[in-house]
Amino acid sequence: MSAGGISIHAVDVAHGRPGTGMRVEIHRLMPDGERRVLADGVLGPDGALDHPVKTGEGIEAGVHEVLFHLGAFFAATAERPPPPFLEVVPFRFRVFDAALHYHLPIKFTPWGFSLYRGA
């Protein structure tokens, strides 16, 4: 049985563009409180994270957290509202079955976001 993986896709709906260049981190939260980094990278031209975690590398059942660096994204694009509102947006979720795929699309603006498990 192959692992399903975790995929990320980000869209800046306020400006009608993908989240190209946004830093994203994926961590596995261990029962003892340790945070294991599974991925730390930037989103590609299509707003997706191109990393082996999307095909299941390193993914196990348990609690995971994704950190979306929205503040730095808007600062780099010079479209961040003064004063800054969103900085790092965490999303904590549980992988029940590592053989299933967990797609996490985020739609965001400088002031808010919508994040869910997609198909």
- pLDDT tens digits, 7-61: 999 999 999 999 999 999 999 999 999 999 999 999 999 999 999 999 999 999 9
How many structural domains compose the chain?
A: 1
Q: Give the model's pLDDT for residue 1.
A: 41
Q: What is the pLDDT of residue 3?
A: 61
Q: Tell me, yes or no, whether 101 lies in a domain.
A: yes
* Entry pTM: 0.92
Assess if residue 96 is contained within a domain.
yes
Residue 1 lies in a domain: no
pLDDT value of position 27: 98
Strand boundaries in 30-112, DSSP class E: 35-42, 62-69, 88-95, 102-108
The answer to whether residue 22 sits within a structural domain is yes
Residue 33 lies in a domain: yes
CATH number of the domain to which 108 belongs: 2.60.40.180
71-115 pLDDT, tens digit each:
999 989 876 667 778 999 999 999 999 999 999 999 999 999 999
Tokens 């989103």 belong to which residue?
Answer: 43
Q: Which domain holds residue 109?
A: 6-115
Q: Give a yes or no: residue 72 inside a domain.
A: yes
Q: Is 94 a member of any domain?
A: yes
Calpha distance 93→117 (Å, rounded): 9
Residue 82 lies in a domain: yes
Tell me phi and psi for residue 86, to 5 degrees: -90, 140
Residue 82 · residue 108 · CB < 8 Å: no
